[in-house]
């Protein structure tokens, strides 16, 4: 989790569920929280670059739904 701010400029932390297996929301440094439209389950594919890619896709889709 400490690397999220380096990889995604607007994300400072993420919220977890199911003992850290599901990512359910992203949080900014200012304390704003944006829920993901769909949880990202890490155990579905534990290869880091694949689930990080899913985090990015989910982040973009969540913002599109909220802003559209």
Question: In the predicted model, is pLDDT for residue 6 greater than 80?
Answer: no
**How many separate domains does the chain show?**
1
Instruction: Report yes or no on 49 lying in a domain.
Output: yes
pLDDT tens digit string along 10-67?
888 899 998 889 999 999 989 999 999 999 999 988 788 888 889 889 999 999 999 9
Note down the domain range covering 9.
Answer: 4-63
- Predicted confidence at residue 65, as pLDDT, reads 95
Q: In 3-state terms, what secondary structure has residue 55?
A: helix
Question: In the predicted model, is pLDDT for residue 1 greater than 70?
Answer: no
pTM, entire model: 0.81
Instruction: Report yes or no on 68 lying in a domain.
Output: no
What is the sign of the dihedral through the CA atoms of 22, 58, 14 and 50? positive
CATH number at 59 reads 3.20.180.20
């Amino acid at each position: 989790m400490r690397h999220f701010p380096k990889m995604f400029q607007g994300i400072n932390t993420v919220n977890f569920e199911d003992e850290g297996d599901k990512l359910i929301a992203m949080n900014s440094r200012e304390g704003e929280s944006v829920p993901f439209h769909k949880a990202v389950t890490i155990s579905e594919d534990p290869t880091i670059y694949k689930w990080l890619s899913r985090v990015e896709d989910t982040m973009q889709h969540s913002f599109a739904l909220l802003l559209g």
